[in-house]
Amino acid sequence: MLAEDSNSARARQGARDVLVRALYQWQIGGHDYAELLQQFSAEPGFSRIDQEYFRQLLASVLANVEHLDTVIGVEGARDLKTVDAVGRAVLLLGLEELNSRSDVPPKVVINEAVELAKRYGPPDCYRFVNAILDRVAKSSGHGTGKD
């Protein structure tokens, strides 16, 4: 892997990390896109993440949240109210990446989401995240194999 690719991958990982925190903040505080962007772009490490990726996905998730929540409810076979805020944030991000980022292999989306769920979510949150994203990837024809 080229150093550029490695730096780019780290910058996207950083963007996903900040996105999960921003989506959590959105759920708890009800902030809009502009407020979230202002708050998180003021963080010291923001210059090291893929800022465009962060902006695009934040806007896209917020625009599609109703649809994404429906998918979580159906695929998770549970009332959305029972999904913790961190798990929901990770799922919103992962589902939107699967839907709108054809440049990112589904396997990468799922692996990154599982790691974020392990880092920030309650115990076993990552299993729920993995199951839903895996089902959605397979049902939409993405597969999760050697992409």
Amino acid 78: pLDDT: 87
* Torsion angle in degrees (nearest 10) through CA of 16, 20, 23, 25: -130
Q: Where are the domains of the chain?
A: 3-139
What's the CATH class of domain 3-139?
mainly alpha
Residue 147: predicted pLDDT:
38
pTM equals: 0.92
- The vertex-36 CA angle with 106 and 72, nearest 5°, equals 40
Contact 126, 118 (CB under 8 A): yes
- Give the pLDDT confidence of 62-113 residue by residue, as tens digits: 999 999 999 999 999 988 899 999 999 999 999 999 999 999 999 999 999 9
Q: What average pLDDT does the structure give for the chain?
A: 93
